[in-house]
Copies of this chain bind each other. A is one copy, B any other.
Amino acid sequence: MRRRDILAAGAATAGTVTLAAPAISQGITEWNMVMPWPRGTPGVGVNAERFAERVTAMSGGRLAINVFAAGELVPPFEGLDAVSSGTADCGHAPPYFWVGKAPVLNYFTGIPFGLTATELAAWFQFGGALELWQEVYDEFNVIPFYAGSSGVQAGGWFREPINSLADLQGLKFRIAGLGGEVMRRLGVNTVLMPPGEIGPAMMSGTVDAVEWIGPWNDRAFGLQRLAKYYYNPSFHEPGPGLEIIVNKDAYAALTPDLQAIVKGAAAATAFETLADFNYHNVVSYLPLLEEEGVQSLPWPDDVIDAMARETWAVLEDLAATDDHTRRTHESFMAFLRQCDRYAASFDTAILQLRHRALEQL
């Protein structure tokens, strides 16, 4: 008999397999999960909902997660507070939503000219970053898990072409995160607004340019109908990370098998989110160019060099926040420098080699 189905009680007595408590007590736990996205938002919202469904399915309903979309339980920008206080048991978001509370969280989302999605995952899982991240969330009574990335983001939609640094002066540009601060230092009139206002602001002329996510989500917003100059890629979001955060007490109250399920489901979500964004960004990109008259353009060299100069200055200011931020900065930059050297012969090189080969077809 190659597969043995035996009674748990017998196995536990025999000591070969120890059953976790809930399989014996058959307790059921319900968790509330908050996310800052409207229900069904492609990429981010859908994958957060899949996480909840996966945990519920893997636990046979013993840990049932109820998802609350933006505003349903708490406002979008109060997710960390909610999970910290126990108003919610877990949440999904990009860590940079909470940089007002801890500037170091910029590094765990990713920085301008920083790590790509896979490199960020590598830094978290094997480069010591999860431990640095846990240090900052300890004070919020929260456990973080990396939950994937939207991949390389798009640079933004501009009504007029950007031919040099001078064209950025005074431009009203909706841009998020550290990239906004870099652009501000370059003379851009940066503004931030909730996702739902991006399209309307562009349509009404309140702004001259906007950046959102990438071809998939940008196209769903109809941005290609409001501006035709699409600058790519985003210098400031090369692979921004998402998080699943869990209240420490809620996690501690779980039996070891349910803890393993939460942890495993977060890793599965990271994988599926990466694949989801990659697939849909790729298939959404060419129709923009071929059917909707969009021009995808690279940034001018003087703009790149100025963005880089201000990025390193902004990061120096950020790293000076406190000792923990400095240590995180050093860890990030040390791995980034190695990734850059490695990519030249591997990640970048294979894409160039492949492009040359495909030109034969």
Contacts and interface: CB of A to CB of B under 8 A. Distances in A.
A247 to B, nearest CB: 10
Interface string A344-361: 111111111111111011
Contacts of A285: 338, 341-342, 345-346
Interface in A1-40: 2-9, 11, 17-20, 22-32
A129 to B, nearest CB: 10
A264 interface: yes
A257 B56 CA distance: 9
Interface in A152-170: 152, 154
Number of identical monomers bound together in the oligomeric complex: 2
A232 B349 contact: yes
Interface in A137-156: 151-152, 154
Contacts of A117: 118
A238 B247 CA distance: 40
B57 A256 contact: yes
A interface: dominant SS: helix
Contact of A232 (B25, B346, B358): B346
A275 interface: yes
A219 interface: no
A5 B296 CA distance: 54
A121 B230 CA distance: 27
Interface residues of A, number: 120
Contacts of A311: 357
A159 B76 CA distance: 59
A98 interface: no
B357 A307 contact: yes
A318 interface: no
A246 interface: no
Contact of A64 (B17, B24, B350): B17
Contacts of A308: 356-357, 360
A113 interface: yes
B281 A346 contact: yes
Contacts of A59: 257
Contacts of A340: 354-355, 358
Given A235-B353, A304-B357, A119 B17 contact: no
Nearest to A335: B282
Contacts of A20: 60-61
A186 to B, nearest CB: 14
Contacts of A360: 305, 308-309, 312
A278 interface: yes
Contacts of A4: 28-30
A240 to B, nearest CB: 12
16 contacts: A8-B62, A11-B61, A19-B62, A20-B61, A60-B257, A116-B347, A121-B275, A232-B349, A264-B264, A264-B268, A268-B271, A285-B346, A304-B357, A305-B360, A307-B357, A348-B351
Given A7-B28, A267-B268, A312-B360, 20 more contacts: A2-B87, A3-B31, A3-B253, A17-B28, A19-B60, A23-B62, A113-B358, A116-B347, A122-B275, A232-B349, A268-B268, A282-B342, A286-B338, A286-B341, A298-B345, A299-B353, A304-B356, A305-B360, A308-B356, A343-B355
